[in-house]
Amino acid sequence: MLRKDSFPSKKPLVANWETLSKVFLQPENEEAKTTLIKYMEQILFGLHEFLKKHVGITEEISLKELAENFTDTHIHRTPQKKLTEVITDLIQNVAPHAVNVASPYFVGHMTSALPFFMVHLKTITAALNQNVVKIETSKVFSILEKQVLAKIHRLIFSFEDSFYKTHVQHTDTALGCFTENGTLANLTAFWASRNHLFPPCNGFDGIGTEGVHAAYQTYSVDRCVILVSRRGHYSIKKAAGVLGIGNNNVIALDVDSNQRIDLEHLRKTIQDILNHQPKTRILAVVGIAGATETGTVDPLMQLAEICRLHRIHFHVDAAWGGPTLMSEKYRHLLDGIQYADSVTIDGHKQFYMPMSCGMVYFKDPHALEDVAYHANYIVRQGSVDLGIRSLSGSREANSVVLSSALDIMGTEGYALLIDHGIETARWFAEEIERRGDFELVSRPELNILLYRLFPAALKIAYDCGNQEEKRRIHHQLNAINQRLQRLQREAGKSFVSRTTLQKGPMEKDEMVVLRVVIMNPMTSPGILSKILDEQELIYREKITGLNQAP
């Protein structure tokens, strides 16, 4: 149970100008400094104790029980706790019920351990509290952000030196922008592309100013579509919803047997629109570089060529896979990304930054002009105010975290992490194939893979069975894998996630699969073996009964 009020204060705490000035001023003497350092130690090392002990979501206390401890809807009039009490309470009573995403046994999601120094870097941004919306509240930090943007732009597009010399600190151009996350990065890309598709003309002031209805009328358009494979992240639908394009106009194209976009389906869809739907505009084709569920990479080179041929905006969602570009060994997996018009990359994924950091990059340094906003008191014409070309207003100086991390790690350091993830995932795929009771569902291209428990006895029955028998076993396997994932999560020793693919004996069948994301450098083959051993054991001891049921 949560321990409440573990620090009954001896003296009632009061809010007055004396205590307030202590909170706002720098520590006034050595004693106060020592106390603050002690608090930081408490945070860093106290939390480490928690990180050592717990993995994943443990069911020692259920979500329902937890929720019962958080129903106080009043703000107290008087102070309740001192900082030291708050920190201790968080460490002792709250952190143990958080999820230990740093455990090497936590391999279910795209959130993992951080390099230790990230906590220090994040503390610096909080301590300086710069706001990069405008130069007046950030100065060098806005300039530093432009430099980092140019570094990552170069990583993606590799333009000539002269290009970067011109644009790195140009006040009227932008090579990209930081956003809160990948969702807003994707939204920014489609926002720019939408505004570019419906620019001002003959008395029409552009879609941003006049809205979707006026734009469609002016350009004789009924609808806009975004073309992406079925593996597209749901943030693309969100963007279409927000931009007035409509969720239904994100067209989910088929995938091939490797879960990559079916190029024939894409070509046919484009031809059909061009030949028979004169009032439909294609806002963008999206190539995925590291699909959320399968980690697969679409054939970016071919997609780029199709988009070039038809002059369609080519967006690459590399929220996950982007940092693969730092690996000499595996950057070729993203070949074609350099021809994208826009690219999304998340900092809190494979740049190992703390939550949260998204980025979007544009090949054309003028592309963000289509979404530029000005105000009289800030974001003035011709200023370096980053808020001019950014969906967010006030924003932390997250770029300093990325910039410093790049200095500390170098591309070689990051490449070690990327290579480890890819190579460990390949090893894991082989191990799954070596074991008789599992089936590999998607071969890892990057560091994500899907598999399921498929007991050998059922495999034989499945292979020999007729269609009806195959479907029966298919549903049985779904139930087994769903239960297995839940039981393993509840046991709290390790965590893999679960998703559903459209796959099975019949066209519309759904397949429940286990999903593993390998990004923690401490996740070794030995640990992955233990995770499979545990799954075999759970199956034998707790699930085999399901086998018998028709």
Interface residue list for ligand PLP (CB under 6 A): 110, 181-183, 186, 233, 235, 288, 290, 292, 317, 319-320, 346, 358
Residue number with the shortest CB distance to ligand PLP? 182
Q: Cβ 196 to ligand PLP, closest distance in Å?
A: 21
Q: Kindly tell me which of 152 and 484 has the beta carbon lying closer to ligand PLP.
A: 152
Q: Kindly tell me which of 288 and 453 has the beta carbon lying closer to ligand PLP.
A: 288
Q: Kindly tell me which of 112 and 186 has the beta carbon lying closer to ligand PLP.
A: 186
CB within 8 Å of 448: residues ≥ 6 apart: 290, 291, 293, 294, 295, 320, 425, 515, 516, 517, 518
Q: Kindly tell me which of 113 and 345 has the beta carbon lying closer to ligand PLP.
A: 345
Q: Cβ 283 to ligand PLP, closest distance in Å?
A: 17
**Spatial strand order in the sheet of 448-453:** 438-442, 448-453, 510-517, 497-502
Q: Kindly tell me which of 314 and 462 has the beta carbon lying closer to ligand PLP.
A: 314
Residue 344 and residue 359 in contact, taking contact as beta carbons nearer than 8 Å: yes
| DSSP-based three-state secondary structure for 60 | coil
Residue 515 and residue 109 in contact, taking contact as beta carbons nearer than 8 Å: no
Q: Cβ 292 to ligand PLP, closest distance in Å?
A: 3
Instruction: Please provide the size of the chain in residues.
Output: 550
Q: Kindly tell me which of 288 and 415 has the beta carbon lying closer to ligand PLP.
A: 288
Q: Cβ 266 to ligand PLP, closest distance in Å?
A: 18
* CA 191 and chain centroid, separation: 19
Nearest to 79 by CA among 12, 27, 18: 12
Q: Cβ 33 to ligand PLP, closest distance in Å?
A: 37
- Token duo for residue 533: 């051993």
Q: Cβ 30 to ligand PLP, closest distance in Å?
A: 43
Q: Kindly tell me which of 429 and 446 has the beta carbon lying closer to ligand PLP.
A: 446
| DSSP-based three-state secondary structure for 380 | coil
What would the DSSP string read from start to end of 153-168? HHHHH---HHHHHHHT
Integer angstrom CA distances of residue 305 from 22, 360, 362, 451, 504: 62, 21, 18, 33, 33
Q: Cβ 180 to ligand PLP, closest distance in Å?
A: 8
